[in-house]
Structure 1
Amino acid sequence: MSGPSVAELRVVAQPQTTMDRRSGEHWAGLLYMRRISVYVTWALAKTPITPNQTTGLMILFGLLAGAVLALPGLWAALGAALLVQVYLLLDCSDGELARWTGRTSITGVYLDRVGHYFAEAALLIGLGFRASATLPDWYTVLGFAAALGAILIKAETDLVDVARARSGLVAATETSAGQFRSRGLGLARKAAAALRFHRIVQAVELSLLAVLAAVWDALAGGLAATRVLTVACAVVAVVQLVLHLVSILASRRLA
């Protein structure tokens, strides 16, 4: 069976509504991964694999990245970063395959969210173990704390739609997320978003920063850079957890 051409698949699997979105699409997806993922999706469309099974593979690679990052040495950090790229690739392809086959489902959306929770938590926990000279120590604790913070930040976002659904409202829109009751809070959110400091606890950015820290540690000896990164992740996760909650409560997402 020949299956669709890449051009035919792209029209259905990568509609303009997907390619134009900003808040729901990672910068790496827009920059390069969507250009690659359509070919992977084209290959997957010729196999019996389902979109949900593809999401399952995404989750597996995310967890593997965290496990590999926990290992010592530069090669482990590089391996984790590569696994995260595969994770991101599958994160693009599962939705594309679902749109092409018409097998979109609530289960798929749920599994996709679970995968993001698991991958970011696994990487932060792996970073904590990587920073530890002896196990367990405070760096391990900080890794778990950062992972918990990252999970709760995502939960804060998802609970907006839960609260709206239980109140008989539709899901919040991107427009309402950017509307604030206070002009000052709106400006503060824009300033925080421009700094992008929250991305330090996200999978792609964290994996790349872990590689840079590993290179520094390999040149300087010791684990100083990895430990600084671990502390930074824990601090950012806690600060972002509070600021994100304030942002939601001050916006019109709950109105």
Structure 2
Amino acid sequence: MSAPSVAELRAVAQPQSTMDRRSGEHWAGLLYMRRLSIYVTWLLAKTPITPNQVTGLMIVCGVAAGAVLALPGLWAALACALLVQLYLLFDCSDGELARWTGRTSVKGVYLDRVGHYFAEAALLIGLGFRAAETAPDWYTVLGFAAALGAILIKAETDLVDVARARSGLAAATEAAAEQFASRSLGLARKIVAALRFHRVIQAVELSLIVVIAALLDPWFPATRVLVVACAVIAGVQLVLHLVSILASRRLS
């Protein structure tokens, strides 16, 4: 396939249906990364690399960010944040390249989901080791607990489609997530969602907060407070997310 112009590539790789997604598109992607990723995708389109291989690069960057975060010092926090930005970049480009080349696949969707599981878990585990400073201790345990919570929250979402598929139903729509049998539950979900506290345990947000914590650590144990907060948030969000799913129309 001949190399496209950026405008031609954008028309296919960044359709309005993708850019308008409310739950499937990260705010950082809409704010700046999609503006950059289209040029990276344009370069990748000139190479033999496949979309799934780009997803592989995404996974490597995400896991590497967690490994680097386990190291001490401000430089490690900055390196982690940079790797997460690359993770986000490849997360945008793999789908763009797949749409342009027509190589979208179930395997690609699966790898993308696995990549998000791995990256967020790796970051929280790395944070736990970082907070421990020397030998593994209770902060390390809290990091693993937060990682387990983050994985289970994602599993709760993915299992909706598993349950529907096994019941012979189509995948749940975004609108179904907003429909509740009780108005009070719907209002409660909107209030909780508006607080955005769940984003603390997501890769992009966490990597930026880690840098702030590293800057504060000489005067205040900010990293240790952060890992405790992540464990608490993961536990609370795990329960609230499950209640939200059961109370919505996603399983009906």
Q: TM-score, normalised by structure 1?
A: 0.97
After superposition, what is the alpha-carbon deviation per residue over 1:67-91, rounded to whole angstroms, capped at 9, x for unaligned?
0000000010000000000000000
Q: Give the paired residue count.
A: 252
TM-aligned CA deviation for residue 2 of structure 1: 5.9
Q: Which residue of 2 aligns with 1:249?
A: 246
Quote the Cα distance in structure 2 between the aligned partners of 1:140 and 1:251: 35
Amino acid of the structure 2 residue aligned with 1:104: T
Deviation at 1:22, TM superposition (A): 1.4
Look up the match of 2:46.
46
Uncovered stretches (5+) of structure 1, i.e. residues with no partner: none
Q: Identity over aligned residues, as a percent?
A: 83
- Give the aligned partner of residue 11 of structure 2: 11
1:174-225 deviation line (CA, Å, top 9, x unaligned): 000010111111111000000000000000000000000000114x1x6x10
1:133 shift after superposition: 3.0
In the alignment, structure 1 residue 74 sits paired with structure 2 residue 74: yes
Report the counterpart of residue 114 of structure 1 in structure 2: 114
User: 2: distance between equivalents of 1:111 and 1:239?
Assistant: 27
Q: How far apart, CA to CA, are the structure 1 residues paired with 2:179 and 2:230?
A: 28
- 2:12 and 2:99 in contact (8 A); partners too: yes
Question: What's the secondary structure of 2:4's corresponding residue?
Answer: coil
Deviation digits for residues 120-158 of structure 1 (CA, Å, limit 9, x no counterpart): 000000000000033210000000000000000000000
Unaligned stretches of 5+ residues in structure 2: none
Separation in 1, partners of 2:203, 2:136: 23
Question: Partner residue of 1:232?
Answer: 229
1:46-195 equivalences under 5 Å are 46-195=46-195
Residue 208 of structure 2 corresponds to residue 211 of structure 1: no
Whichever residue aligns with residue 254 of structure 1, its letter is: L
Aligned with 2:217: secondary structure? helix
Write the letter of the residue equivalent to 1:250: A
Distance (Å, rounded) in 1 between the aligned partners of 2:142 and 2:39:
39
TM-score normalized by the length of structure 2: 0.99
The root-mean-square deviation of aligned C-alpha atoms, in Å, is: 0.9
Aligned counterparts of 2:233 and 2:223: Cα–Cα separation in 1: 15
CA distance in 2, matches of 1:159, 1:2: 40
